Chains A and B, each alone.
Chain A
Amino acid sequence: MRVLVVEDDPALADGIARALRAEHFAVDVATNGEDGGHLGATEAYDVAVLDLGLPRRDGLSVLAEWRAGGRTLPVLILTARDAWTDKVLGFKAGADDYLVKPFRVEELVMRLRALVRRAAGHAASVIRAGALAFDAQTGQFEYEGLPLRLTAFEWRVLSCLMLRKGVVIERLDLLERVYEGDSDVDSNSLEVIVGRLRRKIGAGAIETVRGRGYRLVDLRCG
């Protein structure tokens, strides 16, 4: 899961990025409205955290532009403005959730996970595929009833496949959601990560669709 954080306060942006990375999210940070607007409009993100009072461009106009341009990524507004009128304006501009500063980091993580889960069309918080279970609320994977220990990259790949189980996910799409914007992407590393995952959850769970990408096989259905 890749998150865009648009927040102009460097200390808070750093803190949020650190906390989200600790929960295995890939995080890109933009410190002004223009950069944030551009990133959100051109890169693939699973969810965005958007401050409202931003230098150069106001958060609400960034959000409205994303929506006008057809960007449907879930957006959580994270702001100091706690009046209900501001909340209504935020939702009218196209926000999916609204959190007021200061906040508990667990609350932010929980809300971001829920946004991503709902955006993928899952109403219940636990998603199952065969012996594999993903609690989208806590971010925990279980395999055959036991907690699954994963690295950050493995978690990002597997959660992405899990949220869209049974659907072929393009390689490029997967790469975009696994690597942060400023990292060097080695396309071969994706095969390495998938290989490690297959060793943990069974070779047949992740199917390679030649020339396209990967698919998580829902064993109960398939």
Chain B
Amino acid sequence: MPRSLSGRLLVTASLALLVALAVAGLGIAHMLERFVTHGLDERLDAQIAVVARAVRPDGTIDRGVVVDVPPFDEAASGWAWELRGTRDLLRSASLGSADIVVRDRDRHGPPHFDPFGPDVGRPRPFDGRDPNGQGVHGRVLRLSTGRGAVTIIAVGPRAVVEQPLRAALLPLLGSLLLLGAALAIAILVQLRFGLRPLATVRTMVDEVRNGKRRHLDATEPTELLPLVAALNTLIDTNQIALAQARGHVANLAHGLKTPLAALRLDLAAPGCDPGGRLTAQVERIDRHIRHHLGRARAATPAGVAGAETSIGAHVDDLVAALGRIHADRPVRPIVAIPDDLAVCCDPQDLDEMLGNLLDNGWRWARNTLHVSAERVGAMTRIRIADDGPGLPAGDLEHVLQPGVRLDERGDGHGFGLSITRELAELYGGQLELGVGSAGGVVATIVLPAS
């Protein structure tokens, strides 16, 4: 059995079609044969009736009554009749002196059926050969008389039946083939049309995976609705489980941070940690927590959230926040982002990526920070350029590694860029660092456009 649904349907439909066509062909041929044979039988029966008039009720034969009409008088025509009594034997002129037939019992009826059996009051059919070897169809009538049984046989050439049959079967076969072809095309059309909703559902599942939609959305066909509902429930359950897992990680991390902050404060007291070893350990724990919290956030399977997030609004909020965080660094942000530009990305993830990049830019900029965005095909490029001292080429790749920080000022913790890159790649985008024409660092993040 084929593995595909359309393969299965195609195979079963084709088999059914072949069987139906074969049955129809055989049935029609059989009907036709019976119809044509019936015509021959009537003609033979008429001849038998004519011959039977010669048999008197007492079993004697009145030879004068029997007339030999064409075509029964033509020799070797295949048409012949014979009357056999206990003492008499009458034959058509076509037979001459030969016996009428060689019985050919295989062709008609089961072997035990004997057309020359007892009198049943009406002629019975049989098939055989005439003395010339020509195939004939015949009728037999048994009459019981006072002088014993009388058998009247009439035969006609089987060609009379077979010729019109052949003539009719050829066009019949042609029509059946045409019908089969038409039905095969109909099956193919039906398969494509009938199975199209399956392809639609698959496309929608892909879109859910890519974050283009949140749920499957189908109102027909009714057969697929339970499946669509089940898939939607699965998506919801998945999302809830994911949110819970993220919540647990966040709770764990946040729960650890407060005692860690208290510990760090205690260690900062004079004489508490002379070598700074304990503080270094606390900072190490803190780095691990931040790293894994960041990764737990980044581990969102792309697009499960499936949101359309406006870039401009988020950049504005972040710029306002950063203006306060770095209130003593008089950096002027210049934002040029079209209002309608949006990315296919969870809003929190976008905040995380842009926040890290903008924060970085803010720390390095001298006077201005340029933020722009444009759509390039299916992607959106967001460019954040500072006018700071820039970075040597070797450091550009280096700073994307987790835990590396070149900036020892402030509270940067060195995971921003690596988490940003991980997030961007998770969404099928990328993060590039370069040096701008003015010498500052240019961070370009590419994300799928919505």
B351 contact from A19, A80, A84, A114, Cβ within 8 A:
A84
User: In the bound complex, how far is the Cα of B176 from the Cα of A72, in angstroms?
Assistant: 93
A16–B265 contact, CB under 8 A? yes
Q: Is B259 part of the binding interface, using a Cβ–Cβ cutoff of 8 Å?
A: yes
* A11 adjacent to B257 (CB under 8 Å): no
Inter-chain CA distance A77–B324, complex, in Å, is 12
Query: Does B223 count as interface, using CB distance less than 8 angstroms?
Result: no
Instruction: Assess whether B292 is interfacial by the CB under 8 Å rule.
Output: no
A residues near B257, Cβ cutoff 8 Å: 80, 100-102
Q: Does B307 contact A (CB under 8 A)?
A: no
0/1 string, A82-104, CB within 8 A of B gives 1 = 11110110111001111111111
**Is residue A67 within 8 Å, beta carbon to beta carbon, of the partner chain?**
no
A/B pair count, beta carbons within 8 Å: 101
Task: Tell which of B94-102, B108-116, B151-159, B315-323 binds the partner.
Answer: B315-323
- Chain A residues with CB under 8 A of B410: 107
Q: Which residue of chain B has its CB nearest to the CB of A95?
A: B324
Question: Residues of A contacting B266 with CB < 8 Å?
Answer: 11, 15
| B254:A19 contact, CB within 8 angstroms | no
Q: Min CB distance, B12 to chain A, in Å?
A: 56
Q: Chain A contacts of B327 at CB under 8 A?
A: 96-97, 114, 118
Task: Tell me whether B73 is interfacial, beta carbon within 8 Å.
Answer: no
**Cβ-defined contact, B411 with A103, below 8 A:** yes
Q: How many A residues, CB 8 Å from partner?
A: 35
B262 adjacent to A85 (CB under 8 Å): no
Query: Is there contact, CB below 8 Å, between A15 and B265?
Result: yes
* Chain B interface residue number, banded: 35 or more
CB of B447 to closest CB in A, whole Å: 15
| B259 in contact with A9 (CB, 8 Å) | yes
Distance in Å from the Cβ of B64 to the closest Cβ of chain A?
A: 124
Distance in angstroms between the alpha carbons of A80 and B265 in the assembled complex: 15
Contact B254 A12, beta carbon cutoff 8 Å? no
- B interface residues with partner A (beta carbon < 8 Å): 250, 253-255, 257-266, 268-269, 282, 286, 290, 293, 297, 317-318, 320-321, 324-325, 327-328, 347-348, 351-352, 354-356, 410-411
A-B contacts, 23 listed (Cβ < 8 Å): A12-B259, A15-B265, A15-B266, A18-B269, A80-B261, A81-B250, A83-B297, A83-B351, A84-B318, A84-B348, A84-B355, A88-B317, A90-B321, A91-B321, A91-B324, A95-B324, A97-B327, A101-B257, A102-B260, A102-B264, A103-B264, A114-B328, A118-B327
Known: A81-B250, A95-B324. 13 other contacts (CB 8 A): A12-B258, A15-B262, A18-B269, A84-B355, A96-B324, A99-B411, A101-B260, A102-B257, A102-B260, A103-B411, A104-B268, A107-B411, A118-B327
